[in-house]
């Protein structure tokens, strides 16, 4: 599995690149993990409802084709897109979701943060506060989109939405528990190692 570090990139061209990658891949194309960071953007999933955008400001809203509701991406958040051949792996959606959740939980444990998945709600939580979001799309035998882990960012835009459709959902990040907060490169190195082990 190839790790591709793309740095700080706008959301929309990255979304288009994901779709193009999957449209052009064949059975021999190596799976990839795209490690990125985005400027401020709200992304609205296929099940998204407009009433979950509570405050309209200058942050753009992009309609996309993953599952789920609305979420926020911004600087200081680690985003990993999972460009996986679903047919070749002969796996299940549940296995992939669990692999992402377990990788995030293991990464956070390295920082002494006790986190867990919630079978009733997507994502990873520290207590009742959400620290990571998941959203996937499977099309033509390929999996794309992925996960977003809050590392050291401005969390206030999350108050402009009902995160993932949950009113009053409180968000958190690694910086709330670790001082000084680790950089995105350090966290991404740990997370991608766990993902490579889990996504087998």
Residue whose token pair is 């969390």: 155
The answer to whether 134 is a known ligand-binding residue is yes
The answer to whether 71 is a known ligand-binding residue is yes
The answer to whether 135 is a known ligand-binding residue is yes
Catalytic residue among 124, 151, 155, 164: 164
The answer to whether 133 is a known ligand-binding residue is yes
Does the active-site annotation cover 99?
A: no
Bridge-partner residues for 82, per DSSP?
Answer: 33
Nearest-angstrom CA–CA distance, 132 and 101: 9
The answer to whether 76 is a known ligand-binding residue is no
Nearest-angstrom CA–CA distance, 79 and 193: 15
The answer to whether 73 is a known ligand-binding residue is yes
Nearest-angstrom CA–CA distance, 24 and 162: 35
User: And the tokens for 90?
Assistant: 């002969």
Nearest-angstrom CA–CA distance, 141 and 27: 10
User: And the tokens for 73?
Assistant: 């991406």
The answer to whether 123 is a known ligand-binding residue is no
Active site residues: 164
Annotated binding site, which residues?
A: 66-73, 133-135, 146-148
Annotated binding site for substrate, which residues?
A: 66-73, 133-135, 146-148
């Amino acid at each position: 599995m190839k790790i591709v570090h793309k740095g700080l990139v706008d959301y929309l061209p990255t979304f288009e690149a994901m779709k193009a990658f999957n449209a052009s891949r064949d059975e021999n194309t190596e799976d990839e993990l795209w490690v990125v960071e985005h400027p401020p953007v709200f992304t609205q999933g296929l099940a998204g409802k407009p009433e979950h955008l509570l405050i309209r400001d200058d942050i753009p809203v992009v309609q996309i084709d993953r599952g789920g509701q609305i979420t926020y991406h911004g600087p200081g958040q680690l985003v990993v897109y999972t460009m996986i051949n679903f047919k070749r792996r002969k796996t299940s959606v549940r296995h992939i979701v669990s692999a992402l959740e377990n990788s995030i939980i293991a990464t956070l444990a390295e920082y002494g943060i006790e986190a867990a998945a919630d079978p009733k709600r997507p994502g990873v939580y520290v207590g009742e506060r959400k620290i990571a979001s998941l959203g996937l799309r499977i099309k033509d035998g390929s999996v794309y989109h992925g996960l977003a882990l809050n590392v050291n960012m401005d969390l206030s835009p999350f108050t402009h939405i009902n995160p993932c459709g949950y009113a009053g959902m409180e968000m958190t990040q690694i910086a709330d528990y670790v001082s000084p907060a680790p950089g995105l490169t350090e966290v991404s190195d740990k997370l991608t190692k766990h993902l490579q082990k889990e996504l087998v």
